[in-house]
């Protein structure tokens, strides 16, 4: 624990929700993350982990405070890890818009100045953070990943590019093909430049359409609210569905009448998502 600074600690459903800071090599900045550890986790009973990636303007706190996932984490015996959505600090590049810069890392490794100095959230999420968690907490190496909106995009991309690292993936209201929508085009132009071939490396629909090996397919669940104000312009989940049909990928896309983009939607279906992940995470 020498590398971790404890920021806060809260008892919840018999387990502990704790927030930490550490100096990240991947982002070259101080990063914050939250961990919910169920009460059954100890050195003799290491539990699997669900990683949660949040959306634009969010931090590690949104999901932990609003989704109501802790009770199910205890019931299923799963730890939850929620990183921040970007590097932060006075030395970290930023933008006046809410959809670029701090709070909007898009889970890519930026290649363009000034963003390339700190914005390596893809490496942070897929490599550095899991290594840190597994070295310092009573968890095993069984991982799944989920997220919302920008974080749903991130979860899908991390899983599709690293199927050996994750046992399952799910997303709420993901930005399904960011290379084709305003949010993604703005972020990708800034972080990755104008060379659109590099954009495809972080486009879930493109990655899904190009899966050719059955061993690269892991169970995937996507939930989309039909009253979501961003559905048509920014999210476009049908692109995922079309790609999955073409490749035979085991994707379930559920559409829910009346639900919007908020955490009211996430809280309504988080139990289903956690049970979905537990079917592979908790296999003996």
Distance CA 195, CA 217 (A): 28
DSSP letters of 187-216? HHHHHH-S-HHHHGGG-HHHHHHT---GGG
241-266 mean pLDDT: 97
Catalytic residue among 84, 203, 228, 277: 228
DSSP letters of 210-261? T---GGG---EEEEEETT-TTIIIII-THHHHHHHHHHT--EEEEEETT--S
Q: CA nearest 238: which of 204, 210, 261?
A: 204
Distance CA 134, CA 105 (A): 24
Q: Report the chain's C-alpha Rg in angstroms.
A: 18
Tens digit of pLDDT for each residue in 177-226? 999 999 999 999 999 999 889 999 999 999 999 998 887 899 999 999 99
Tens digit of pLDDT for each residue in 7-48? 999 999 999 999 999 999 999 999 999 999 999 999 999 999
Domain residues for the domain of 221 are 5-281
Domain count, the chain: 1
- H or E element: which one contains 151? helix 150-161
Q: CATH number of the domain at 234, please.
A: 3.40.50.1820
Query: Does the active-site annotation cover 261?
Result: yes
Distance CA 37, CA 145 (A): 16
Does pTM surpass 0.95?
yes
Catalytic residue among 17, 261, 273, 277: 261
Tens digit of pLDDT for each residue in 96-139? 999 999 999 999 999 999 999 999 999 999 999 999 999 999 99
Query: Does the active-site annotation cover 260?
Result: no
Q: What is the Cα 255 distance to its own chain's centre?
A: 20
Distance CA 251, CA 217 (A): 9
Cβ atoms < 10 Å from Cβ of 248: 10
271-284 mean pLDDT: 93
Query: Does the active-site annotation cover 228?
Result: yes
Residues 40 and 77: beta-carbon distance below 8 Å:
yes
Catalytic residue among 24, 149, 170, 179: 149
């Amino acid at each position: 624990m020498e590398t971790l600074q404890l920021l806060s600690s809260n008892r919840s459903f018999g387990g502990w929700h704790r927030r930490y800071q550490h100096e990240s090599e991947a982002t070259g900045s101080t990063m914050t993350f939250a961990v919910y550890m169920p009460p059954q986790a100890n050195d003799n009973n290491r539990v699997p982990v669900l990683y949660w990636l949040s959306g634009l303007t969010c931090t590690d706190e949104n999901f932990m405070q609003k989704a109501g996932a802790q009770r199910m984490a205890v019931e299923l015996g799963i730890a939850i890890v929620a990183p921040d959505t970007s590097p932060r600090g006075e030395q970290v590049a930023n933008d006046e818009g809410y959809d670029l810069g701090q709070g909007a890392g898009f889970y890519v490794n930026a290649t363009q100045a000034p963003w390339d100095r700190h914005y390596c959230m893809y490496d942070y999420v897929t490599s550095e953070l899991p290594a840190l968690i597994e070295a310092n907490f009573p968890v095993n190496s069984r991982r799944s990943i989920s997220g919302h909106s920008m974080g749903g995009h991130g979860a899908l991309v991390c899983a599709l590019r690293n199927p050996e690292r994750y046992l399952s993936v799910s997303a709420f209201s993901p930005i399904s093909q960011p290379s084709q929508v305003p949010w993604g085009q703005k972020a990708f132009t800034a972080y990755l430049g104008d060379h659109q071939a590099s954009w495809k490396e972080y486009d879930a629909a493109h990655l899904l359409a190009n899966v050719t090996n059955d061993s690269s397919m892991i169970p995937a669940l996507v939930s989309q609210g039909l009253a979501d104000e961003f559905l048509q312009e920014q999210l476009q989940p049908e692109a995922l569905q079309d790609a999955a049909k073409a490749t035979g990928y085991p994707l379930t896309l559920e559409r829910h009448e009346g639900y919007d983009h908020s955490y009211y939607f996430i809280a309504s279906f988080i139990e289903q998502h956690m049970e979905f992940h537990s079917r592979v995470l908790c296999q003996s």
